[in-house]
Every structure is written in C-alpha cells, then in structure tokens.
Chains A and B, each alone.
Chain A
Amino acid sequence: MSVLARISGGVLLVAAIGGAAAWYLAAPSRLDAATVASLGNGDATRGEQVFWASGCASCHAAPGADADAALSLGGGERFVTEFGVFVAPNISQHPTDGIGSWSAEDLANAVMRGVSPSGQHYYPAFPYASYARMKPQDVADLYAFMKTLPEVEGKAPSNELSFPFNQRWALGFWKMLYLDDAPRVELANASDEVLRGRYLVEGPGHCGECHTPRGALGGMDSSKWLAGAKAAEGEGNVPNITTGEGGIGDWSKIEIVDLLETGFTPEFDSVGGSMAPVIRNMAKLSPEDREAIAAYLMAIPGHASAN
C-alpha cells in the first residue's frame, strides 16, 4: 500500500470517526429512565396552574385569545425573527393534527429536552432551555390538564427557515452549549419564597427567554441575566427587570406583584406588546406565586440595562 493511500485511508477513517462522533453528540438525548418513572399520575387541577405559569397559550392559542379561546391550542401564530419565521404548531388534543396521541413521557421529552416523539430536535423558539428546569411532577400535572383541552383541527404551516438554520440536526450542538437544568443564578441562604420564585421565573415562566440578551449563537448571556434585550421580533427592546440601573430597583414588592396581576406599572402605564398575554397568564396564578416572583426579582444581582 502506497504512503499516499495509507494517508488518505487514515484521513477517511478519522473523518468517519469524527462524523460518527458528531452524529452521536448531536443526536437528540431523551430524559433518563428515572425521570420518566418519576412522572407518575398527573393532577389536572394543579396542571392548570402549571399551564398558565408556563405560558403555553401565549404562543399556541390565537393572538389576543382570552378565556376559553386561550385553551384552543391550534397554533399557527408566526414569529418573524432574524433566523427566519417560526410557526407555532398545533398542540391541541387532536390525535393527528395536534398532540392528542402523545404519552406523558412524550410531553416531558418535548418540554424538558426539546425532543419530539419521533426523535427530532425542536427549535429553541420553544423555550425548552428554560423548561428543562421544570419538576417532572409539574409536567405530569400539565399533561393531565392538557388532556382536558379541546381538539383543534388543522396542522399549522411549517417554519420558514433558510440554510443553515433549517438544519435541525445541528441543534444538537446548540443544546450541548445551552441546554441544562442548573440554576441561572446562585442565591445563598435564599428563603423558600425566593426559591419558589426562582423556579417559576427560570423554569416554567421562561422570563429570561425575552428579558436576557443572547450571544451570537442564540444562547442566553447569564452574566446579564434578566438585564433586558433586543426584542426577538421587530424593533423594540425588552426591559431590564433586575434592580440595576434602568431596571426596577425603585419598585416595591407590591408594585411588582401589581404589575403581574394588572399589567400596570407604578406610573400606571399599561404594559403592551407580547407582555400583555403574559400578564393574563400571571393573573391566573396564586397571589403567593406572584409574590414569590417579585421576591426573586428583588433578590437576584442587579445589572445595568443591557440595551
């Protein structure tokens, strides 16, 4: 065998191993057996609170939907971003157009790992990088509640993404960088209330998805956690909700709680845009949960506005 043939053979072998390794690394990774086993039987009543805390309807119901309409999760809303257009899928209980045939395990893998039942990566427009922090019991409760919701006919259209963003397999690498269930901020000696707030904000509430600036690859910049960001859609800015300069340092706890319930700031401006549906969700939580969110926001490090 000539030297050249040996070298090219070696290169091929290395490339094959490298390719296999890349394939392996980027392959969707599901929840482990212990987590799946811990799902147990869900409680639909508790699941309704998880549903509102997680903001499912804000993207998957018709825009502006309130009351019963917010429970029709037919999808179809278009999110025009710099990566392309994402279209919210139908997550109603329709057996073929929605997710009516899913098991609790399927839902948990989608929500906490960003993996579809057929083993595809979801795009992180679906905020699983936050939902990864959810308690398996909450996901089981959410599943039980979603089973009570109506079937909506009709599949939503596909995303409109161009190369390279249409390469779903590459999301495996994105997940390696940005998908974990560790707390966003370490809080020494935090009270139970603050810890509950941390769970709600960092997990189901997925506040950081809009309120934290992102790096070039679309991952959140933890050093500016909740310090505000450019809006993913359109021209606007998402405000700084830390106690740092340009944030909410001069707000009292009750003012934060009021905003979450009524949408009014201390100046009696009423929040608009995509925060308006979030307020409708937050208004459905218990007063204690809104207070916990406020306590957490007051406890985390303040940052000057990132935008």
Chain B
Amino acid sequence: MRLFIFATAALTALTMGAHADPLADRKANMKERGSLLRVLGPVAQGRADFETATVLDALEKLNANAQAAIDVDALYPEGTESGDTKVKATVWSDRDGFKKANDDYTAKVAAAVEAQPQDLESFKAAFAPIAASCGGCHEVYRN
C-alpha cells in the first residue's frame, strides 16, 4: 500500500507540470479538501453514521487531493502573494516550514488511507491528526 501511495505521488508530480494559474489551482484544491472534510468531519463528530465504503472512498480522494498539492513551489510561486487570497507572507518568508507543514499533512492523510479503518474508533484515531493539522497550518500561513 505504501509503495502504491508513493507511486501515485510520483506519477502526480510528473503529470502535474507547470500551473497556468497557481492561485486558482491551489484555491480549487483547498475547496475540494473542504468538501471531502464535509463528508468525513460529521462522521468523526458522531453526527453522521460510519459507513466503511463512504469513509474509505473519501479518504482515498483526500489522499489524491493532498498528492495534487505536494509541489509547494509550483502552487505558491513568487508573485501570487496578493489578490484574491488569504495567504500570509510567511508562506514565502518561511518556505521550509511551510513545506514541512504540507508534507506532514500529506503523510497523515496517506497514513489514514493505509490504516483502512473499518470502524468508527479506528477512523477517529486516523482522522484526528488530519483535522488537527488544518488549524495549525492556517494559524501560521493563512489569515
């Protein structure tokens, strides 16, 4: 499974290439991320029933979504600091920290897919670190 995930990552990085509109691309990526969390979040909160197929499907998509955003330099190039964006200047002034935060998030999502949770408790254990990393990253890198 781990090999598969890394192979997917490598393939995505190869096929992605340059972005025509990186600001729009990264926002679309984040929007998609939010829509997938809308499926997973209520399950973790106990407001929606745990259905294995639904949860695993959303986790796979969340993983693909994270892999699509793995190239920080391509999505956050110089010159995309302003405009219709809430990004903070720290994305550029602390590029290494931002990359690390992005890599950490990506690794947590990959780990959740690898865990293949079959019940609510194991899903919550895999999902909690993912949810926690959202606010941690937004605190430092987004207004």
Contacts and interface: CB of A to CB of B under 8 A. Distances in A.
A180 interface: no
Interface residues of B, number: 21
A272 B133 CA distance: 11
A276 interface: yes
Contacts of B78: none
A48 B83 CA distance: 42
A64 B141 CA distance: 12
- Interface of chain A, main secondary structure: loop
B93 interface: no
Interface in A254-292: 258, 262-264, 267-273, 276-277, 279
B79 interface: no
Name, among B88, B135, B142, the residue most crowded by chain A CB atoms within 10 Å (CB to CB): B135
A264 to B, nearest CB: 6
Name, among A231, A258, A269, the residue most crowded by chain B CB atoms within 10 Å (CB to CB): A269
Contacts of A269: 30, 34
B28 interface: no
Interface stretch (B12-20, B37-45, B106-114): B37-45
Shortest 7 CB-CB contacts between residues of A and residues of B: A272-B138, A276-B139, A270-B134, A236-B143, A268-B37, A272-B142, A263-B135
A231 B142 CA distance: 13
Nearest to B44: A262
B140 interface: yes
A276 B38 CA distance: 19
A234 interface: yes
A273 B139 contact: yes
Contacts of A262: 45, 131
Interface in B102-143: 131, 134-143
Given A234-B143, A263-B135, A277-B139, 17 more contacts: A64-B139, A64-B140, A235-B82, A236-B86, A262-B45, A264-B134, A268-B37, A268-B38, A270-B131, A270-B134, A270-B138, A271-B135, A272-B138, A272-B141, A273-B143, A276-B136, A279-B135
